[in-house]
A and B are shown apart, each in its own frame.
Chain A
């Protein structure tokens, strides 16, 4: 497909994809890479990097490398789970609001705006503090609830700009139902925006989840990069000179975040040329010719 070819040629896309793929593999087959259990407090504490412990050990005697590898699972689950959920909700609400217009648009937009205006991080803290022992599911729910509104706004704007496209009027005139038009005609033309929204949400979810865990609002006994940071902080690792205890989880978060960001840039750059709303005949003709293979 033309799109895939463009994707693989783009250096940002390639880098981002490789990074993400690496993390996914780590999450799926952690046992292949880390031979220690992440939670077993077997070893001598605060060791530096060595052949047995690639990144050393924590203040509790756990292998940092194993923790980083096994921790990938939870982070990815949260990122994909919350990212997907908030994008789906945002798409449903945003596009419906744009297409239905009038009264429904007013109601849905009002609802979106109210949720949007609530300060995100304080809300996260309040909720997470309220719900003790928050496992992964709660984390995903919290992040989804706070994350959908911004994307809903974006998608609504995009759908609004599409609303006057003749192919939508054509669908309506030939007798299609509203839900058909939204799902089959509108959403597919917004694929690149939906993917971009998903990637953005996933990125922020990684950062927020890790932040919440860092300040102690996650489950401190779970294996995750954020909790690694929490324990490192508890251990005063940086002050004591055990740098890797903090740097390793931080670098993982940064790398995963970077992979999402790179993929996002790539999608922006590639886009979908047939969608660009050029209005001038000359530009259109050049576009058509450039893309035609006839």
Chain B
């Protein structure tokens, strides 16, 4: 249903361009929940913007394709995109609660979106707005409210409701729960999962909090420094992480239950993307480095049902692969 292939996004800075997203490929099936996790600077939000064709200069897609429902979104005109947007594909942005227009009521904003995509009858608009609010668990009486009159959790639900107005096939979410408290977060995730079950849409969920998606996503993609580090089934990655970064990340979460163990985290910081790296980008922080890691940039290789970008798993292929550190 969604196929991202070789997507590359460059930020044109004064000097060398920065590869914020480097050759990322993955696919999403109908009704699937894909979690994209990574820390600051890994490129996950840029990837999301690129998928939704929302990038603006100095960022631009320089390679790859985003195939949705058989059509390549990269290079489409605004007119072609608007036919797809909101009806087939919608986006919930980060801090969505601050993305609501503070001087318009919720009903007015829903009506705007509905009218922009073809619905004209006042009755139909009112009906659909109420229906969609009920879907996310908010009493339709709040249609008349302004955003500041709603709590954070309710605003977030209203944003999700707005994304579901036309029952799209795919909803992309960028950290929709980051500003909420842990109880509200859990409640919202449960609601999202239930909605997915009911309406059957696929979700791409971007977050920095791995534990948040651990119980909800079908597959998980771990990003580091603009590249895919590991991609596979959620349980698989949690139970048996392959990439040293995934391992490090999982071990950086102190447990609520069970014995208390001293943890190490991952010392160091993500690399400066404006400097072209030869070899693996995770090398300076990797506890399992090999000699080849400094000179050979690892490719994504399949392993036990997941794919992982690490020389530890390149096996017999290591010698045959030329150094591909300098990507265009």
Contact = CB atoms under 8 A, between A and B. Distances in A.
Direct chain A–B contact by Cβ atoms under 8 Å:
yes
Interface of A: 280-282, 284-286, 289-290, 292
Contacts of A282: 40-41, 45-46
A59 to B, nearest CB: 53
B270 interface: yes
B194 interface: no
A284 B40 contact: yes
Interface in B33-73: 40-41, 45-46
Q: Please list the 4 inter-chain residue pairs (A to B) with the smallest Cβ-Cβ separation, ordered nearest first.
A: A285-B40, A285-B41, A281-B40, A289-B272
Contacts of A290: 13, 18, 272, 274
B94 A280 contact: yes
B94 A289 contact: no
10 contacts: A280-B94, A280-B95, A282-B40, A282-B45, A285-B40, A286-B11, A286-B18, A286-B41, A289-B272, A290-B272
Contact of A292 (B13, B20, B95, B272): B272
B273 interface: yes
Nearest to A291: B272
The bracket for how many chain B residues form the interface is 10 to 19
B118 to A, nearest CB: 34
A282 B46 CA distance: 9
B270 A289 contact: yes
A292 B268 CA distance: 13
Interface in B187-226: 208
Nearest to B208: A281
B274 A289 contact: yes
Contacts of B274: 289-290
Nearest to A292: B272
Contacts of B41: 282, 285-286, 289
A290 B11 CA distance: 11
Given A286-B20, A289-B272, A290-B272, 7 more contacts: A280-B95, A282-B40, A282-B46, A286-B18, A289-B270, A289-B271, A292-B272
B224 to A, nearest CB: 13
Contacts of A281: 40, 208
Contacts of A285: 40-41, 270
Contacts of B95: 280
Interface in B80-113: 94-95
A289 B273 CA distance: 8
A281 B41 CA distance: 8
A217 to B, nearest CB: 47
A271 B45 CA distance: 26
A280 B208 CA distance: 13
Contacts of B273: 289
A278 to B, nearest CB: 12
A270 B263 CA distance: 43
Contacts of B270: 285, 289
A119 to B, nearest CB: 33
Nearest to A287: B41
Contacts of A289: 41, 270-274
A285 B46 CA distance: 13
A4 to B, nearest CB: 16
A281 B40 CA distance: 6
Contacts of B20: 286
- Among B11, B13, B40, B273, residue most surrounded by chain A Cβ atoms (within 10 Å): B40
Interface string B262-277: 0000000011111000
A286 B45 CA distance: 12
Nearest to A279: B95
Nearest to A286: B41
Interface in B1-32: 11, 13, 18, 20
A273 to B, nearest CB: 12
A165 to B, nearest CB: 20
